[in-house]
Structure 1
Amino acid sequence: MSVPTLPDTFRALRMLRDDAGIRPEFQNLTPADLVGGDTLVRVRYSSLNYKDGLAVGGRPGVLRRYPITPGIDLAGEVISCESGAYAPGDPVVLTGWGIGERVDGGYSQVARVESASLVPLPAGTDLHWAMSVGTAGFTAMLAVMALEDGGVRPEQGEVLVTGAAGGVGSTAVHLLSAAGFKVTASTGRSAEADYLRGLGATEVIGREELSAARPLEKERWAGVVDTVGGQTLAGAIAMTRTHGVVAACGNAGGAELHTTVFPFILRGVVLAGIDSNTCPAPRRRAAWERLARDLPAGALAGVTQTRPLDDLPALAEQILAGQVRGRTVIDLG
C-alpha cells in the first residue's frame, strides 16, 4: 500500500462570486487554503452529478458560500487522520454531508474532510469504480433498499424508474433488473430507449404517460424510483398499486407536488423520501457493500465516461441541458 504525501501545491476548481457574477476558476492551492475537517485525503477521482452541474454552471441555490470548491463526491487515499479512524494510505469514499455545497468538495487534488463522514472503500473494488457509482449510484441503491424495506418483491409486478436515462435512473434500472424486477423506464429522451433496454428495462415509456388526470388512476406499479418530482411523481403515485412504495429522490422536473391523500389512505401507498446527503453511517456502509456486490465495475463500463478536471465547465452545461447519459468520472490526475 502506497502512502500519499501532502504536496506543497495542488490544483482545484473554485467557484467565485464577484461583481461579474458567479464563475468557475482553476487555481493552485496550498495546504493552508484547506479549512475544517480532521482528515486530509489525496483525491484521485470525483464525479459529475446534476447538482454539480448547477454549482459549476453558476446557478443559484446550491452553493452556500464563496469561494468554494464544488464536487459532492470524492474518492482517494488518506494522507493523515487526526482522529485515528483511518491510517495513511487507506482508500476512502465520501459522498454528501454538505461537501461541495457548504464546505469544500471533491474538485480538488487534496481535500480536508471529517473522518466521521468517510466510508472505507469496499473490498474488491477500486477508487474509479467508487466514483462511477458516486452519489447517483449510492442514491439509487438507497431507493432500491427503500422498496425492499417496504416489502416490494419482483413477483408483485412492474416497477417504474423515472428520469431513467440520468445517473440515478440508469443505476436504478440496472440494480432493479439484476434483482429480478420487471422494470419500466420512463424518459423524456426517446432516443435513449435502446440504451435503457440494454440496462435491463423491459419497457420504455415517455414521461407524458405519467400525467395523471385523476387522484387515482389504474393500478400499475408495485414500486417506483422517482428522480424527477413534480407532475411525473404525482402521476406515478396515482398509478401505484395497493401497498406499493414510491421512493422519491429528485426534483429535476419540479419541486412542487400536486396530489391528494387518496393514494395513501385508500391504497396504503408509501412515499419514502431518499436523503443521500445525511444518510446515517450504518446504512451508508451497508449500501456501499451492496453496491460492491450488485454493481461490479464491468456493469458500469458501458455507461461511464472519464474526463479530466479541465472539462468540468463544459460538462456542467451539458448535464443541465440533458445531454449527459449515465455516469461521468472526473480524473483529478
Structure 2
Amino acid sequence: MGKFMALQAREGAEGEFEQAIVERDTNDLPAGELLIRVRYSSLNYKDALSASGNRGVTKQFPHTPGIDAAGVVEASSVAEFGVGDEVIVTGYDLGMNTAGGFGQYIRVPAAWALKRPAGLSLREAMVLGTAGLTAGLCVDKLEQAGVAADSGPVLVTGATGGVGSVAVALLAKLGYQVVASTGKAEQGAFLEALGAERIVLRNELQEGGERPLLKEQWAGAVDTVGGDILFNVVKSLRYGGSVACCGLTAGVGFKANVLPFILRGVNLLGVDSVELPLVVKASMWDKLSLQWKLEGLDRLVTEVGLRQLPEAIRAILAGQQVGRVLVRLD
C-alpha cells in the first residue's frame, strides 16, 4: 500500500487529451470498503472513450480508466471479504467516474465485488472481462428467447472485437452454427479458429437499408455494433428469431419500422452488463467458469503492460483491435 503506478487520462492546455503513467497514492483513492491490489485488467471500448476524454463516460479529469479489475483484497472493512481474497470487479462506476483498473490499486464498495469463481484464474477472468461477461449475457438472452443450437445460423456482428470474438467462441462451443461478420477480411482465419463456419463482410450487412424487410437468414444474432447494421439484422431474422444488442461502435441510432416485428414476430433484446445486479453477474461468472468455460483463451488475447496501454487505446479507437487486450498490472 502507499504509492502505486496508474495510467491517467488528462486534458492538455489546448483541450486535447493524453494518457500518462503516473505515481499515485492509495490515500487519494475514493472511499470504499475494499482496497484491492489489481493483478489484471482489460481494455474495452468504453475504457478507450474514457481515456480520450469522452465526457459521456467520464465527467472529470484527470482520471484512471479501467472498467474491469481482478486482484487480491489488501484491506476490508466488511465481514464478507477478508485480506487475501481473490476478487473480480466489473462495471458499476469502476473506471467511469471512480478510479479504475488501469491502476495497481482500486478502492471500491464491497457491493461491486465478487469472489473469483474456482473455475477461473484471475488472468482468465480478465481475458473474459466485461466483454466476456457481456457475450455470455447475450447468449443467455438468446437461449431464453428460444434460439437453440439447431434453430439455424446465428450471426455475430463486430466479430473480431472483444465481445464479438468471445461470442463466436462461446456459441461454437455450445454447438451453434456461427456466422461471423467483420470489416476485417484479413481476419477470416482468426474467426474460423474460434469456431465461425462462415464469414460475412460488414458491407454485405449494410446493403438494403432502404427496404422494410430483407431475406430471412438468421435464427438469432449477437450485435455488438448498433447503427443501421443492427436494424438490417433485425430485418433479416427468421420468423420468431431474436437479436441480442449490446454495442454502439457503428452508431446509437438506426432507421426502423414495425414490419419485422408484426410480420415475423422477431425480438430485439437489450443487454447491459454494467448495472446488472451482482447476483446475476455472479451467476453468469459461475457459468463461464464451469459449463460454459472456454478452452484456449490465449488465442483471443494480446497481453500488455501499463506502458503499452496508450498505443492499445489508439488502436481500439481506430477499429484495429482484434480479440481481447489483457492488461497486466505488475
TM-score by length of 1: 0.95
Aligned residues: 327
Shift of 1:20: 3.3
**1:265 and 2:259 are equivalent in the alignment:** no
Structure 2 residue ranges without an equivalent (≥5): none
- Supply the distance in 2 between the matched residues of 1:152 and 1:295 (Cα, whole angstroms): 17
Shift of 1:105: 0.7
- Supply the distance in 1 between the matched residues of 2:313 and 2:55 (Cα, whole angstroms): 14
**1:24 and 2:1 are equivalent in the alignment:** no
Among all aligned residue pairs of Structure 1 and Structure 2, give the percentage whose two residues are the same amino acid: 43
Shift of 1:36: 2.2
- The partner residue of 1:76 within 66, 71, 79 is 71
User: Amino acid of the residue matched to residue 6 of structure 2?
Assistant: A
Shift of 1:236: 0.2
Shift of 1:190: 0.5
- Supply the distance in 2 between the matched residues of 1:294 and 1:198 (Cα, whole angstroms): 21
- Supply the distance in 1 between the matched residues of 2:90 and 2:100 (Cα, whole angstroms): 9
- Supply the distance in 2 between the matched residues of 1:281 and 1:124 (Cα, whole angstroms): 18
Instruction: Note if contact 2:227-2:248 (Cα within 8 Å) is conserved in structure 1.
Output: yes
TM-score by length of 2: 0.95
Shift of 1:62: 2.2
User: Amino acid of the residue matched to residue 9 of structure 1?
Assistant: K
User: Amino acid of the residue matched to residue 17 of structure 1?
Assistant: E
Structure 1 residue ranges without an equivalent (≥5): 1-6
Alignment of 1:311-322 (within 5 A): 311-322=308-319
- Supply the distance in 1 between the matched residues of 2:190 and 2:291 (Cα, whole angstroms): 19
Instruction: Note if contact 1:129-1:297 (Cα within 8 Å) is conserved in structure 2.
Output: no
- The partner residue of 1:14 within 1, 8, 14 is 8
User: Amino acid of the residue matched to residue 107 of structure 1?
Assistant: F
1:12-57 deviations in Å (ceiling 9; x for gaps): 1122235332322222111211112211101011111111122223
Alignment of 1:8-157 (within 5 A): 8-21=2-15, 22-157=17-152
1:247-294 deviations in Å (ceiling 9; x for gaps): 000010111121111111222211111111111122111111111125
Shift of 1:218: 1.5
**Alignment root-mean-square deviation, CA:** 1.4
- Supply the distance in 1 between the matched residues of 2:169 and 2:88 (Cα, whole angstroms): 22
- Supply the distance in 2 between the matched residues of 1:332 and 1:14 (Cα, whole angstroms): 14
3-state SS of paired residue (2:296)? helix
3-state SS of paired residue (1:151)? coil
- Supply the distance in 1 between the matched residues of 2:54 and 2:25 (Cα, whole angstroms): 27
1:167-196 deviations in Å (ceiling 9; x for gaps): 100000010011110011010110011111
Instruction: Note if contact 2:288-2:294 (Cα within 8 Å) is conserved in structure 1.
Output: no
- Supply the distance in 1 between the matched residues of 2:2 and 2:215 (Cα, whole angstroms): 63
Change in Cα spacing, 1:133 to 1:294, as seen in structure 2 (3 Å) is farther
- The partner residue of 2:245 within 248, 251, 261 is 248
User: Amino acid of the residue matched to residue 145 of structure 1?
Assistant: D
Instruction: Note if contact 1:175-1:294 (Cα within 8 Å) is conserved in structure 2.
Output: no
- Supply the distance in 2 between the matched residues of 1:60 and 1:174 (Cα, whole angstroms): 33
